[in-house]
């Protein structure tokens, strides 16, 4: 990595990206070595705009009066937050010494990285590569207090091929007639595929002009909700009762999309009445009921319209010598949703009104549960109830409903491959990890999930309590935390504090103070988002009936302030101390890392990291599956 020097972009606009929510392409004006102004990129979705948070972030994070500008080491007891300034060399030596101790003992996984939001984190792909080389533990612990349960629910309910679009809530807004949005400050926070709220404003305003009505479900009246047509103040934790009551009306009044349910869901699947398990034939096939032929194997998607939803019916099925009573999954949903209707704390007429608006306008409707965790014990099942409601409405990849992108750049992770670096995969089985990364099966989580049968779904990586269990059991003994705050994001804070005090070493990195720092042995002054590099890709549905893929680079608009450095720099120095420089010494994290991703996508050399930094974002638009490139540089 080259030495940081004074910015040569004095008085110039520099292409980079915001990180105050998640990620938005933006330009910053650098004058006298300081950021003086920000504005949005002139590309679809943003059209030169940014929100107020992009502006406030300059003073609140980059130039924060309490910004951490130098390495610190603890001088008091853990939890007292008493530190003195130290050198980078001291922190590097401490981390390398502890790692060597664990490596010599045959347990490098005792050292674990807890990393945070990938839009606010230094190169998350490199962090995973570093962990793969050194065999340390690594966990996207932040995910379970952001959208982790939502992500897993979407994978389990819709499959990995559709989960990303349904998680982010990409919508065909120009045709949407009725939108019910829960658990978020809408439209101040995004629904619509982009991780930034700016593109949603234009799309939502266009939908409103076209007659779309917006209902927000939330315990509180958040600041931007008055933009919507109606607010329903649900009781905290009461979403599932509300949603199943809506499902009850849709089913009773036959306002559901029968064709969609039969073709694309397991609504017709036969479920045993005695134990609630899915019925299988002797060949192991899941079964449905056909009005003409009786039970038969469940057909493939788009081929199930001859089956029956079995509403109000019980079927008797004989498999081999066993005869069992069964009901369809749809009938069981009908029975379960009917139980919740009397519990709703609203007049029955209100629930009927909302359900009819949804049913009568389907499929051009959406019901979105918000992206982040609800922090309720029943939130996973609540999310599944929301997904079921959308399936009843048949609004998946339908006009005015949720939109499934038809194109992807398939960027990969940018990991260097042998012979560019020595082979780091010997003796390791890699499996998919968060955000397209790879992880060792041994470290995918604190408990094994890749078993036969599986203990749980591998999408549930980083269940927080398992990490603290592992600390108590001595299986995690040192933690490096970056861009996350697990000291206060877990429910049992007293237990968390007790676990943290048992660790051999805690290193915490950030730009500004946070609670986790109180427990740190060393504090890393990390470079801010405008002082480092990263490649991002966004999906946007425009108001022009086009799907946009937007690539943009976060660039180092200014050098790191004080003695701050990117986390990747620190990790490389630690690896060098351990004699592993051959894996890292030739890596260029400013341009070449991201160019490897662009090569995998087939975009290089037309699109390069340097071009994205020097010329601005790259966007491709698609209409009716026909692509045409739009020059936006």
Q: What is the pLDDT of residues 119-170, one digit of tens each?
A: 889 999 999 999 999 999 998 888 777 877 888 888 889 887 788 888 888 8
Statement: residue 504 has pLDDT above 80 = yes
Q: Can you read off the two tokens belonging to residue 444? A: 């995918």
If you average pLDDT over each of 138-147, 374-383, 542-551, which comes out highest? Answer: 542-551
Asked if 440 and 135 touch (Cβ cutoff 8 Å), the reply is yes
Q: How many residues does the chain have?
A: 633
pLDDT for 544 equals 81
3-state secondary structure string across 355-411: HHHHHHHCCCEEEECCCCCCCCCCHHHHHHHHHHHHHHHCCECCCCCECCCCCCCCC
**Residues 561-578, buried b or exposed e (16+ Cβ, 10 A)?**
beebbbbbbbbbbbbbbb
Report the run of H or E that residue 13 belongs to, with start and end: strand 12-18
List pLDDT tens digits, range 267-290: 999 999 999 999 999 999 999 998
Distance CA 175, CA 191 (A): 15
pLDDT for 458 equals 61
Phi, psi of 549 (to 5 degrees): -110, 120
Q: Would you tell me how many other CB atoms lie within 10 Å of the CB of residue 221?
A: 11
Statement: residue 22 has pLDDT above 50 = yes
If you average pLDDT over each of 45-59, 145-159, 317-331, which comes out highest? Answer: 317-331
The least confident of 323-332, 372-381, 384-393 is 372-381
Q: Is residue 231 classed as helix, strand or coil in its secondary structure?
A: strand
Distance CA 416, CA 297 (A): 45
Q: Is residue 334 classed as helix, strand or coil in its secondary structure?
A: helix
Q: What does pTM read for this prediction?
A: 0.90
pLDDT for 459 equals 60
pLDDT for 305 equals 76
Distance CA 461, CA 158 (A): 18
Distance CA 268, CA 300 (A): 12
Mean pLDDT, to the nearest integer, of 174-186?
A: 91
Q: Can you read off the two tokens belonging to residue 489? A: 């994001």
Q: Can you read off the two tokens belonging to residue 69? A: 């500008």
Residue 187: asked if its preceding bond is cis (omega within 30°), the reply is yes
Distance CA 47, CA 62 (A): 25
Distance CA 8, CA 3 (A): 14
Distance CA 75, CA 97 (A): 19
Q: Would you tell me how many other CB atoms lie within 10 Å of the CB of residue 100?
A: 14
Asked if 545 and 210 touch (Cβ cutoff 8 Å), the reply is no
- Residues 6 or more apart in contact with residue 57 via CB below 8 angstroms: 18, 19, 20, 529
Question: pLDDT tier at 626 (50, 70, 90 boundaries)?
Answer: very low
- Residues 6 or more apart in contact with residue 275 via CB below 8 angstroms: none
Q: What mean pLDDT is reported for the chain?
A: 89
* Percent of the chain predicted with pLDDT > 90: 62
Q: Where are the beta strands (DSSP E) in 534-609?
A: 534-541, 547-554
Integer CA distances (angstroms), 245 to 383, 386, 632, in order:
15, 11, 48
Start-to-end CA span in the chain (Å): 28
Closest CA to 72 of 512, 487, 471, 479: 512
pLDDT for 3 equals 41
**Could you tell me which residue, 340 or 363, shows the higher pLDDT?**
363
pLDDT for 9 equals 46
């Amino acid at each position: 990595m080259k030495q940081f020097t004074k910015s040569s972009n004095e008085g110039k606009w520099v292409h980079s990206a915001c990180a105050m929510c998640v990620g938005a392409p933006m330009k910053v004006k650098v004058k006298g070595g300081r950021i003086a102004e920000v504005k949005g990129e002139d590309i679809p979705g943003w059209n030169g705009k940014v929100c107020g948070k992009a502006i406030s972030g300059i003073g609140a994070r980059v130039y924060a009066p309490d910004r951490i500008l130098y390495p610190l080491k603890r001088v008091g007891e853990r939890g007292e937050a008493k530190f003195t300034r130290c050198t980078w060399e001291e922190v590097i030596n401490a981390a390398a010494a502890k790692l060597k101790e664990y490596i010599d003992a045959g347990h490098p996984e005792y050292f674990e990285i807890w990393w945070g939001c990938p839009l606010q984190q230094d190169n998350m792909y490199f962090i995973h590569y570093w962990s793969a080389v050194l065999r340390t533990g690594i966990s996207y612990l932040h995910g379970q207090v952001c959208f982790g349960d939502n992500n897993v629910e979407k994978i389990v309910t819709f499959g990995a091929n559709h989960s990303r679009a349904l998680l982010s809530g990409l919508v065909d807004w120009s045709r949407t007639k009725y939108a019910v949005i829960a658990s978020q400050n809408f439209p101040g926070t995004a629904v619509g595929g982009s991780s930034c709220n700016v593109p949603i404003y234009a799309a939502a305003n266009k939908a409103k002009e076209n007659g779309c009505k917006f209902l927000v479900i939330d315990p509180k009246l958040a600041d931007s909700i008055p933009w919507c047509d109606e607010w329903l103040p649900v009781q905290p934790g009461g979403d599932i009762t509300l949603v199943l009551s809506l499902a009850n009306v849709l089913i009773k009044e036959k306002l559901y999309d029968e064709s969609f349910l039969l073709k694309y869901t397991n609504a017709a699947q036969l479920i045993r009445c005695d134990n609630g398990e899915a019925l299988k034939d002797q060949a192991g096939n899941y079964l449905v009921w056909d009005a003409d032929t009786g039970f038969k194997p469940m057909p493939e998607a788009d081929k199930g319209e001859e089956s029956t939803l079995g509403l109000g019916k019980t079927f008797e099925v004989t498999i081999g010598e066993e005869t069992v009573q069964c009901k369809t999954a749809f009938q069981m949903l009908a029975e379960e949703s009917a139980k919740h209707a009397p519990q709703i704390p609203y007049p029955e007429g209100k629930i009927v009104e909302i359900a009819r608006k949804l049913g009568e306008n389907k499929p051009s409707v959406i019901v979105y549960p918000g992206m982040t965790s609800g922090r309720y014990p029943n939130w996973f099942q609540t999310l599944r109830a929301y997904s079921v409601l959308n399936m009843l409405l048949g609004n998946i990849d339908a006009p005015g409903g949720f939109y499934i992108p038809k194109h992807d750049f398939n960027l990969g992770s940018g990991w260097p491959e042998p012979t560019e670096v020595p082979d780091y995969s010997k003796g390791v089985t890699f499996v998919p990890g968060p955000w397209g990364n790879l992880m060792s099966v041994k470290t995918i989580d604190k408990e094994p999930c890749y078993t036969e049968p599986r203990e749980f779904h591998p999408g549930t990586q980083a269940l927080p309590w398992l990490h603290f269990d592992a600390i108590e059991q001595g299986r995690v003994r040192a933690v490096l935390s970056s861009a996350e705050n697990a000291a206060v994001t877990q429910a049992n804070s007293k237990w968390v504090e007790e676990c943290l005090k048992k660790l051999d070493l805690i290193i915490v990195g950030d730009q500004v103070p946070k609670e986790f720092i109180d427990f740190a042995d060393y504090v890393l002054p990390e470079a801010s988002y405008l002082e480092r590099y990263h490649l991002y890709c966004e999906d946007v549905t425009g108001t022009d009936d086009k799907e946009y893929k937007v690539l943009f680079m976060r660039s180092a608009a200014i050098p790191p302030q004080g003695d701050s450095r990117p986390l990747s720099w620190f990790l490389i120095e630690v690896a060098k101390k351990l004699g592993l420089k051959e894996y890292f010494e030739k890596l260029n994290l400013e341009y070449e890392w991201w160019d490897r991703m662009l090569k995998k996508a087939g975009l290089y050399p037309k699109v390069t990291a340097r071009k994205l930094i020097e010329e601005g974002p790259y966007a491709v638009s698609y209409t009716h599956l026909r692509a045409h490139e739009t020059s936006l540089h």
